[in-house]
Amino acid sequence: MYKVLLILKYLRRRYIAWVSLVAVALCTALVIIVISVMGGWLRMFRQSFHGLQGDILVQGQSLSGFPYYEEMVRRIEELPGVGPGCAAPVIHTYGLLSIAGIQTSGVQVLGYPIDKIGNVNNFDTSLYRQSIACRQAAEQLKDPKLPAPQRAIDQALVAAPATRPSFKLLPRQATAPLSRLPAEIAKLPQLSGAEVGYDPVAKQLAWKSADWIHEPIEELLLSRSSDAEYQKAVKQLVYASKWEAVDYAGLTKVGDKALRWAGMIVSTGIMGIEKDDDGQLAGRTPNEYRFAVTLTVPLIEANSAMADVGNAPHRPYWIVDDSHTGVYQNDQQTVYVPFDVIQHDLAMDIQKDDSGAEVTPARSSMIYVKVKAGYDLYAVKRQIAQIVRDVRAHQGVMIGYPVDVITWEESQKDFLGAVENEKSLVTFLMSLISVVAIMLILCIFYMIVVEKTRDIGVIKSVGATNAGVAGIFLGYGMAIGIVGSGLGLIGGYLVVHNINELHKAMGRWLGIQIWRPKVYMFDIIPNTMNPKEVAVIIAVAIVSAVIGSLLPAVLAAWKNPVEALRWE
Amino acid sequence: MGVNMPSIPMSDGRPVTGAASVPPSAPPGTAILRARGVRRSFQMGDAVVTVLKGADLVVRGGEFVAIEGRSGSGKSTLMHLLGALDEADDGAIEYEGVDFVRMSSARRSRLRNTQFGFVFQFYHLLPELTVLENTLLAPMIQFSWLGFRSRRREFNARATELLDKLGMAHRLKHKPAQLSGGERQRVAIARALMNLPRILFADEPTGNLDLETGGQIMGLLETLHRRDGQTVVMVTHDRSIARQADRVLVLKDGKLINETLNPER
C-alpha cells in the first residue's frame, strides 16, 4: 500500500521526474509516428501491389513470354480454389508513347484482357471515368439541391457504361455543328506545325477555343468525311491546337480508320494529372478521353532475348480513361492496352506460315490468378505449378520459355524485403533513441534516490524490506512509463492522423517537403496506426522506463538504513 | 480486531486512558532484548574507528531505559544495533532469545515493523505524506494493498485517535513542512506507536526541541511507559532527560559502564 501511495505522491510532486516522463512521451510518440508511417507504407505497398497483380502469378522470365497459356488458364480456372474467369493472361512489355507528335516518353505497357481483369485484381477501381467519376457522380446525385445540368451529367455517367472496365471510347455527346467553326480559325494561314507552335496568336486562339474545338473535329472524323474543305479546316485546327497536345494531324492521315483504333488507359502521370494541395487529383481536361496517341513497342523474338527494334510496330490509340492506383511507379509511366491488340503487335499471337500451318503458338507474359477466400494460397500455388509443368510436358516444352509460379508477395520480395529492412533499420535507430531515454531516466532516478536517501532510511526503519524499497522505485519507473507512453500515444495519434495536413502546412509555411511520392511511391503519407504495433511500442516504453529505474531501485534497496538516516 | 490504544496525555497534559490495552509484551521484568559484547567499528577514511567495544545490555519488558553518553560516544549506534537497523561486527543481540544474526533481512524488517518503534531527533517524517499518512506508514508497510484497503477504516480510526490524543487531530491533512518541531515529533511518536510496538526506541527525542516542547515530549514518553507499560529505550546526551528513565546506562569508551537505578521510581 505504501508503495502505491508513495509512487502517486512522487509522480505528482517530483517535478524533476517529469523530465523523464516527457522523454518517455516524446520517444513513444516518435516511435509510434515512425513505425506507423513505415508500417503503413509497407501495408499500403502490400495492399496496392496485391491489388494490382492478383494472388498468384505465372510469370515468364523473358519478355518473349511463354506459350500454351490458354490451356494453363483453362485448367487453372478449373481448380476449386480459383474458379471460372479468375485467371487472366497479361502481357508485360515496354514501349514508346508519342503524344501529339510533340512528346515521346518511355512507358511500361500492360496488355489486359479487360473483361476478366476485374476478376483478378483491383484495376477497375483505379479508373477515373469508369469508376471514380461514377462513384463521385453517384454521391453527388444524393444531393437534392444538385443543379439540373450537373444532375443530367452525373446520371449519364452513372448509367452510361454497360460493362466496366472497357477500352471503349466515351459515348458520343451531341456535338457542335461545323458551321460554328469560327471564321478566325478558318482564315488561319497554312502554317507548318513548327511555326504554329511558336506563334503566340495561334497559341492563344487554341487555348481559348480548346473546349469546343475538338467536338467538330470528332464530328468530322466520325462522319468519315473526305470533304476537302473540312480537311483543310481540320489541318488548320490541328496546327492551332497543338498546344493541347492532340495528335489530330495523324488523324487526318488515317481518316476513317480512326474509328477502329483501340482504346488505351493511361496512368495519371502521363496526362499530367497530379494531386493538388487538397489531395485531390487535378489537371484533367474535358477532352482528355479523346486524345490520340501512338504506341511503339519493340518486338521480342519468340524464345529469344533479341529485340527487333527496327521493325517495332507503332499503333495509334484513343485514350479512353486514366488510372490512379496509388502506386507511384504504376501511376507515372504505365499504359494499359487490350491484350489481343498488344499480343498481335508483339507477334505473340499464333504465328502461321504461308500454308496456314501454326509455326509459333500464342504467348503471354504472365497469368494473374485470383484465389478464392478461404483457400490456402500456397496449396493453390503448388497446384498451379503442377498444371504449368503438366501443360509444358504435354506440349513438349521441356526447355525454353522459363516460367515461375509465385505468389504476389514473392513477386515483390526484393522490394518488400528492402522496405521491411528499412523499417527494421528505422526501428533500430528509434530503439537507440529509447536507450538515451532509458539513460535519462536512470540519471534522474539516481538523483531522486540520492535526494530521497533519508526517506529510504525512514521507510526501512518502519519496516520496509529491501524488495519493498526497490518496488517503490521500480513502480515509480513503471508509472513514469505508463503515463509517459500514454501521453506519447495521444501525441503520436494526433500527429499520425493529421500527418498529411501537417505535411501540407509545412510545405506551405516552411517550403519543406519531406514525403516525396517519387521516392516513396505513394502520394499520401500513411496515416493509420496498427493497434498491435502500438501495443508493442507502449509495452516497450513501459519496460524501458522500468529498466531505466532498475539500477537506482537496486541502489535504493541496498542502502543501509542507518547510513540513509544520517544522510545529509 | 479491536483498537488497542495506549493511554497517553492529551495536548493539555491531562492524562486520559484509551481503549485500555497494553502492547503485547512478556511479563514485566522479563528480559526481551539482550546485547552481549557488542562491537561496532566504522571506516573513516584510512582509519578504523571502533565505537562500541563490547557493550552489554538487558532490556526487560515494561522498563524505561536511558542510555546516556556524550556526543560521538556511540549511543545512537547502539540504539540502531538494538533496533535491528544495523549489524554488529561482533557480539550478539537477541530479541526474545533469537540472535539478530540468525534472522533474515526480511524478518528483521518485520521486527522493526511490528515489534519496534523509532522516534528520531530529527523526526524523519516523509515530506510528501500528510500527518495521517505518516502515522499510517507502519500498517501500510505491514499489509498488502488489498489487506490495508480492507481494514482502512480501522487503521484510520486508530491513527486518528492516536493523533487526537497527541493533540494533532486538527492537523491530519497537514504536511510535515506545515508543522512546528514539537508537532512533528508528536507525529513521529504516533507513527512509532501505530503498530503497538513492544519496544519504543527514542534517539535524542528532545534534542531538536526547545525546553518546554522537549518537556512535553518527555511527558508523553513517561506516560506511555507508566500508564501503559510501554518499554522505552532512549538515548540522550542530556543527563536531566536521562534521569526521567527507570534505569540509566552510561556509554563511555564504547562500553556501558555504569548503571543507575532512578531513586525516584
ipTM of the prediction: 0.84
- Please say if the pLDDT value at position A13 is more than 70: yes
- Please say if the pLDDT value at position A241 is more than 70: no
B150 touches A: beta carbon within 8 Å: no
Nearest Cα of chain A lies from the Cα of B4 at a distance, in angstroms, of: 19
DSSP string, A319-362: EEEEE--S-HHHHHSEEEEEHHHHHHHTT-S-EE-TTS-EEE--
Strands A262-267 and B31-44: unpaired
CA A250/CA A235 separation, integer angstroms: 10
- In this prediction, residue A478 carries a pLDDT of 92
- Please say if the pLDDT value at position B214 is more than 70: yes
- In this prediction, residue A173 carries a pLDDT of 38
A2 touches B: beta carbon within 8 Å: yes
Q: What is the mean pLDDT of residues B17-44?
A: 68
CA A83/CA A81 separation, integer angstroms: 6
Contact B126 A459 (CB under 8 A): yes
- Please say if the pLDDT value at position A240 is more than 60: no
B112 touches A: beta carbon within 8 Å: yes
- Please say if the pLDDT value at position A370 is more than 90: yes
User: Which of A260-264, A274-278, B240-244 is predicted least confidently?
Assistant: A274-278
- In this prediction, residue A286 carries a pLDDT of 58
Q: What is the mean pLDDT of residues B195-223?
A: 84
- Angle of helix A413-451 relative to helix A15-53, nearest 10 degrees, comes to 170
User: What is the pLDDT confidence band of residue A88, given thresholds at 50, 70 and 90?
Assistant: very high
Residue A262, H or E segment: strand A262-267
**Lookup: cell for A286:** 474535358
Find, among A193, A323, A204, A194, the residue nearest to A270 by Cα: A323
For residue A147, give the DSSP letter: -
Which residue did the predictor score with more confidence, B262 or B173? B173
B191 touches A: beta carbon within 8 Å: yes
Contact A463 B109 (CB under 8 A): yes
Residue type, A474: L
- In this prediction, residue A328 carries a pLDDT of 75
> Quick one: CA dihedral A40, A41, A46, A50, positive or negative?
positive
- Please say if the pLDDT value at position A166 is more than 80: no
Mean pLDDT across chain B, nearest whole number? Answer: 82
> Quick one: CA dihedral B184, B188, B193, B198, positive or negative?
negative
CA A7/CA A473 separation, integer angstroms: 8
Q: What is the mean pLDDT of residues B136-153?
A: 89
Contact (Cβ atoms closer than 8 angstroms) between residue A307 and residue A300: yes
Residue in A5, A462, A562 closest to B133 by CB: A5
Nearest chain B residue to A467 by CA: give it. B106
- In this prediction, residue A160 carries a pLDDT of 58
- Please say if the pLDDT value at position A180 is more than 50: no
Find, among B207, B133, B195, B138, the residue nearest to B168 by Cα: B133
Contact A1 B125 (CB under 8 A): no
Contact A462 B114 (CB under 8 A): no
- In this prediction, residue A178 carries a pLDDT of 34
A154 touches B: beta carbon within 8 Å: no
Residue A105, H or E segment: strand A103-112
- Please say if the pLDDT value at position A505 is more than 70: yes
DSSP string, chain B: ----B---B-TTS-B---SB-PPP-PPTT-EEEEEEEEEEEEEETTEEEEEEEEEEEEEETT-EEEEE--TTSSHHHHHHHHTTSS--SEEEEEETTEEGGGS-HHHHHHHHHHTEEEE-TT----TTS-HHHHHTHHHHHHS-HHHHHHTHHHHHHHHHHHHHHTT-GGGTT--GGGS-HHHHHHHHHHHHHTT--SEEEEESTTTTS-HHHHHHHHHHHHHHHHHH--EEEEEES-HHHHTTSSEEEEEETTEEEEEEE-TT-
Which one of A100-104, A203-207, A472-476 scores highest in mean pLDDT? A472-476
B106 touches A: beta carbon within 8 Å: yes
- In this prediction, residue A339 carries a pLDDT of 92
For A427-482, what is each residue's pLDDT tens digit?
Answer: 788 778 878 888 888 998 898 888 888 889 999 998 889 999 999 999 999 999 99
- In this prediction, residue A102 carries a pLDDT of 65
For B63-109, what is each residue's pLDDT tens digit?
Answer: 889 998 888 888 889 999 999 988 889 899 999 888 888 888 889 99
Which residue did the predictor score with more confidence, B166 or B109? B109
- Please say if the pLDDT value at position A199 is more than 70: no
- Residues of chain B positioned with their CB less than 8 A from the CB of A461: 83, 85, 112, 118, 120, 124
For A313-355, what is each residue's pLDDT tens digit?
Answer: 778 887 888 888 877 778 888 999 999 999 988 888 888 888 8
| A445: CB partners within 8 A, 6+ apart | A17, A20, A473, A476, A477, A548, A549, A551, A552, A553
For A44-71, what is each residue's pLDDT tens digit?
Answer: 777 777 778 889 999 988 888 899 999 9
Find, among B119, B114, B160, B116, the residue nearest to B136 by Cα: B160
Residue whose entry in the numeric block shows the C-alpha cell 516460367: A403
Residue in A454, A467, A562 closest to B86 by CB: A562
- Please say if the pLDDT value at position A251 is more than 50: no
- Residues of chain A positioned with their CB less than 8 A from the CB of B190: none
Which residue did the predictor score with more confidence, A170 or B188? B188
**Lookup: cell for A272:** 499530367
| A269: CB partners within 8 A, 6+ apart | A331, A332, A333
Contact A465 B106 (CB under 8 A): yes
Contact B85 A565 (CB under 8 A): yes
Q: How many CB atoms lie within 10 A of CB A102?
A: 14
Residue in B141, B143, B149 closest to A462 by CB: B141
User: Which of A157-166, A226-235, B184-193, B194-203 is predicted least confidently?
Assistant: A226-235
Q: What is the mean pLDDT of residues A259-272?
A: 80
Which one of A310-314, A347-351, A523-527 scores highest in mean pLDDT? A347-351
- In this prediction, residue A379 carries a pLDDT of 93
- In this prediction, residue A192 carries a pLDDT of 35
DSSP string, A109-124: EEEE-HHHHHHHSSGG
- Please say if the pLDDT value at position A177 is more than 80: no
For residue A532, give the DSSP letter: H
DSSP string, A213-232: HHHHHHHHHHTT---HHHHH
Nearest Cα of chain B lies from the Cα of A380 at a distance, in angstroms, of: 57
- Please say if the pLDDT value at position A384 is more than 90: yes
- In this prediction, residue A1 carries a pLDDT of 72
Secondary structure of residue A405 in the 3-state scheme: strand
Q: What is the mean pLDDT of residues A140-145?
A: 83
Q: What is the mean pLDDT of residues A219-238?
A: 46
- Please say if the pLDDT value at position A260 is more than 80: no
